[in-house]
Amino acid sequence: MSSTLDARTRMQRLLSERSPAALLGALAGVLLLGNAAVQKPGLFIDQAIGGLVYGMILVMISLGLALVLGLMGVVNFAHGALFMLGGYFTYATMASYGLPFWAALLIAPIGVGIVGIVIEVVVLRRLYGKEPIIGLLATFGLTLMIEEAARFVWGASAVQPAKPEFLTGGTDLIVTQVGTYRLFTVAVSTISVAGVYYLITKTDFGLSVRAGVQDGEMTEFVGVNLPLRFTAMFFLGSAIAGLGGALRVVEFGIDPGAAEEFVLLAFVVVVIGGVGSIFGSVLAGLLVGWAQFLVPVVLSALAIVTGVSAINVQGISDIIPFLVMIVVLLIRPRGLFGEEGLLE
Amino acid sequence: MTNSENNRHDTGRPSPATSVSDAVTRRRVLASVGAAGLTGLAGCIGGDDDGSSDGETMNGGSSLDSISIGMVTSTSGPFAVFGNAAITGAELAIEDLESEYNVEIDLSTDDSQLEPGTGLERARALVTEGDVDFLTGAVSSSVALRLAGWATDNEVTYFPTGSHSDALTGGECGDFVFRPSASNSMLANSISSGMVEASDEWFLMYSDYTWGQTAADAVQGALEAAGNTVVGREAVPFPSDDYAQYVNRAKASGAPAIGVLIAGLDLRKASSQIIASGIQDRTLAMHQLEDFVFWGMDKDAASILDVAGQVWGPAVDGGEDFKQRITEQGEMDPYIRHLLGYISVDQGVRAAVRAESTAAPDMRDALEGHEVSSPIVDMKGGGDMYWREGDHQLVQPTYTVTSRSTDAMADDPHKDWFSVENKFAGDDVTRPVEETGCSL
């Protein structure tokens, strides 16, 4: 399990496994980044901070998926739909019932967590131990159902509740200015990651869940109510997805298409990080965020140095997560911190 | 038969009988089947332009006691709000036309899902299985261009309701394609004087698909023609879940003014992140303002706009009754997509009535050079409107608007957050036919 090894050990192991070619590639990357920092220092700093912020938002979106996939082995394609539901529940709580943002931030994740419990008990519990593709297909079907239900209730158009007054505008970070709400999202994301990490690695509950994943029969034999723990874990993963949606809807609004839009990105992050590793997902989220923000600057700076304008490819940002995934999988097929044997 | 509208120009086209290719197209087969079916009827009632009926059978693909219209548009995804508004507008037009002409009008709609392939599949089904007489719809220019190509090949009249791409009335114009909205270049030319005055240097952010690309080209062309400089332009994937990196690049460019050519509701995200980045004090221009996009933001955020082009909006002085009817529907406040839906159906039906036929060549002849005098002229705020013969563009007035102060933003009886700065005659902002690349 990912959490049985500390981050430093994992990083050392990762570096020790690198070939000279990979290290040369890393050196080239550093040089390119250095060139970009020299050529466009202001933009480089803006994008580095922007990438960090965006990366943490990606971590927030993918954390619940990493948890359910990594610990329970369920390929939960409905994660995006749960994320979307979090947005709609927040909207309903604030716009329809007039409750404040803070109440919505609590109610929406719990509501989504309850939906997650229903999904786990009614559908997924029957699929444990079976081929992952079966769980994927089942949750894909659930995604379609939840999407259509949302469309029926809230319509096809995007909805967005009002942002709390004190979270509007930007915050001056001296070297750049970042949206206050985005910084709030980063803070929530950081707390969530820390909380989940603590729960999984430092509590009896986390230990028993991990034990149950490795040897369910033996774990139940010693008196652990494993189904209850799995349900609780799915509640947690769903609630975190709902929290991500709750944060998202206030910033940009949400529509039924969000379910599919974000589940792909979440899967990319989890795959890059390595299935089974929460730490890997955090690092992957940051890596993707930085890559999306910095690669265009790197290409632009390289175009200046070489005089070849074609290098500065317009509109490349959206494919960067997938390029990063391809590169990582070519070098390390199980992802940056994926464990051998998990879902293989 | 008394025409309520008049042909402004002699089309100079050969008659339908000689202008249509001899090739047997699917549309022709359908039309023939329709005509054969009609001959078996005792007679159908055709509608006169003035609303009277003469009881005569009309030639062409359909009798005019009923007209069936297909609308393929976005009813899901990021453009759903635009597609649904167009449908509402179309339904109002049908109410009015049925009352005026004593003709039964049927509207069939389907979702393009923002995919050109899906849009084409749905349009084809509406024509071949649903037997619609002509097509309207599409929000996305990519979808509209695909439908336009198919409509041209198959002799189906098509009004690309909500697409602004210059290609539709340019290099990819079609014999049976008539654009009811203003083109990107019309809107770019409308705001260029305001942009030229506002700043010498501009940075352009644009949605990276047909609409955005042609918009950026049009705006850049207009600015540079006036001696201004575009210091940089950034293609933004559409839709995008985050605009921070593009806003950072606009900020780093140092340009004192930013042209935000972002489509649909993504404009909200871009505007929010412009404010969050602290560059809202720079001059901000948008070449195509859709009021609805800003209604989803708070008024402070919506007040950042300095200059924007607009086909029509609630601030335009005209069409008060239309605005009221939309408001009474209660779904959303009136804005341009409602009117575009209305215009598409209004002009299609009137062309069919004038032509006494729904056959595409007949409708084409009824539209080319036609000077519009229907209620849509008043709705648009007055001014000349006509279907230009050379590219099938509905030449019409355009506007530039600016944000009102938050205190002056009205919410009752409907939202009205912007004020009109200038009105432009269509002929003054439409590029000459010879520059369009269209060779009809």
> Per-residue pLDDT averaged across B34-42, rounded?
39
A89, A99 Cβ separation under 8 angstroms: no
Q: Do B275 and A170 touch (CB under 8 A)?
A: yes
Q: Do B208 and A51 touch (CB under 8 A)?
A: no
pLDDT of residue A255: 80
Gap between the Cα atoms of B78 and A160, Å rounded: 13
| Residue that has been written with the tokens 């000459």 in this structure | B432
Gap between the Cα atoms of B46 and B437, Å rounded: 38
Nearest Cβ partner of A54 from B77, B242, B272? Answer: B242
Which two structure tokens, joined as six digits, stand for B212? 């955005």
Rg (CA), chain A: 21
Residue numbers in B near A181 (CB within 8 A): 276
Instruction: Enumerate residues 6+ apart whose C-beta is below 8 A from B380.
Output: B312, B316, B318, B319, B339, B396, B397
- Minimum distance, in Å, between the CA of residue B403 and any CA atom of chain A: 19
Mutate to test the interface with B, among A157, A176, A294, A312 (most CBs of B within 10 A): A157
Cα separations in angstroms, B127 against A131, B38, B156: 45, 18, 8
Most confident of A210-224, B3-17, B218-232, B293-307: B218-232
Gap between the Cα atoms of B238 and A30, Å rounded: 30
Domain B6-182+317-395 has CATH 3.40.50.11260: no
Residue numbers in B near A314 (CB within 8 A): 208, 234-235
Residue numbers in B near A40 (CB within 8 A): 252
Cα separations in angstroms, A13 against A7, A16, A273, A336, A339: 10, 5, 15, 11, 12
Alpha-helical (H) ranges within A73-171 are 79-91, 101-122, 132-154
Q: Residue A318 — very low, low, confident or very high, per pLDDT cuts 50/70/90?
A: confident
Complete DSSP assignment for B341-384: HHHHHHHHHHHHHHHT---HHHHHHHHTTEEP-SHHHHHTTSS-
- Phi (first) and psi of residue B171, to 5 degrees: -60, -25
B82, B69 Cβ separation under 8 angstroms: no
Q: What is the DSSP letter of B163?
A: -
Nearest Cβ partner of B235 from A46, A257, A315? Answer: A315
Gap between the Cα atoms of B434 and B440, Å rounded: 11
Which two structure tokens, joined as six digits, stand for A179? 């949206």
Domains B6-182+317-395 and B184-310+401-433 agree in fold: yes
pLDDT of residue A19: 75
The predicted model scores a pTM of 0.74
pLDDT of residue A61: 87
Whether B38 shows a pLDDT value over 80: the answer reads no
Nearest Cβ partner of A256 from B76, B239, B298? Answer: B76
Give the distance between the most distant pair of CA atoms in chain A: 69
Whether B28 shows a pLDDT value over 60: the answer reads no
Complete DSSP assignment for B176-217: TB-B-SPPHHHHHHHHHHHHHHH-SEEEEEEESSHHHHHHHH
Cα separations in angstroms, B308 against B228, B258, B340: 18, 12, 18
Cα separations in angstroms, B278 against A168, A178, B131, B310: 11, 8, 54, 26
B307, B191 Cβ separation under 8 angstroms: yes
Does the CA dihedral B112-B118-B123-B126 come out positive or negative? negative
Does the CA dihedral B33-B36-B40-B41 come out positive or negative? positive
- Phi (first) and psi of residue A13, to 5 degrees: -65, -40
Q: What is the DSSP letter of B158?
A: E
Beta bridge partners of B370: B7
Gap between the Cα atoms of A152 and B110, Å rounded: 17
Q: Residue B52 — very low, low, confident or very high, per pLDDT cuts 50/70/90?
A: very low
> Per-residue pLDDT averaged across A187-192, rounded?
93
pLDDT of residue B339: 97
Determine contact: A173 vs chain B, CB below 8 A. no
Nearest CA to B92 among B377, B386, B323? B323
Q: Residue B416 — very low, low, confident or very high, per pLDDT cuts 50/70/90?
A: very high
Q: Beta strands of B12-131 (E only): which ranges?
A: 66-73, 104-111
Q: Nearest chain A Cα to B249, which residue?
A: A43
Gap between the Cα atoms of B210 and A330, Å rounded: 34
pLDDT of residue A6: 63
Q: Residue B34 — very low, low, confident or very high, per pLDDT cuts 50/70/90?
A: very low
Whether B25 shows a pLDDT value over 80: the answer reads no
Which two structure tokens, joined as six digits, stand for B373? 């005098």
Residue numbers in A near B278 (CB within 8 A): 170, 172, 177
pLDDT of residue A18: 67
Whether A165 shows a pLDDT value over 60: the answer reads yes
Residues A197-252 pLDDT 10s:
899 889 999 999 888 877 888 888 888 998 899 899 999 999 999 999 999 899 88
In the CATH hierarchy, which fold is given to the domain comprising B184-310+401-433?
Rossmann fold (3.40.50)
Nearest CA to B43 among B29, B53, B32? B53
Q: What is the DSSP letter of A308?
A: -
Q: Do B245 and A296 touch (CB under 8 A)?
A: yes
Residue numbers in B near A293 (CB within 8 A): 244-245, 248
Which H/E stretch holds residue B284? Answer: strand B283-286
Residue numbers in B near A43 (CB within 8 A): 248-249, 252
Which two structure tokens, joined as six digits, stand for A28? 């080239």
* Residue A340 exposed, middle or buried by CB count within 10 Å (0-12, 13-18, 19+): exposed
Q: What ipTM does this complex have?
A: 0.75
- Phi (first) and psi of residue B307, to 5 degrees: -145, 140
Average pLDDT across chain A, whole number = 87
Q: Nearest chain A Cα to B111, which residue?
A: A156
Average pLDDT across chain B, whole number = 85
Gap between the Cα atoms of A331 and A338, Å rounded: 13
Sequence spans of domains, chain B: 6-182+317-395, 184-310+401-433
B230, B253 Cβ separation under 8 angstroms: no
Q: Beta strands of B35-78 (E only): which ranges?
A: 66-73
Gap between the Cα atoms of A317 and A206, Å rounded: 37
Q: Are strands B386-387 and B201-207 parallel, antiparallel or unpaired?
A: unpaired
> Per-residue pLDDT averaged across A146-158, rounded?
83
Which H/E stretch holds residue A322? Answer: helix A320-331
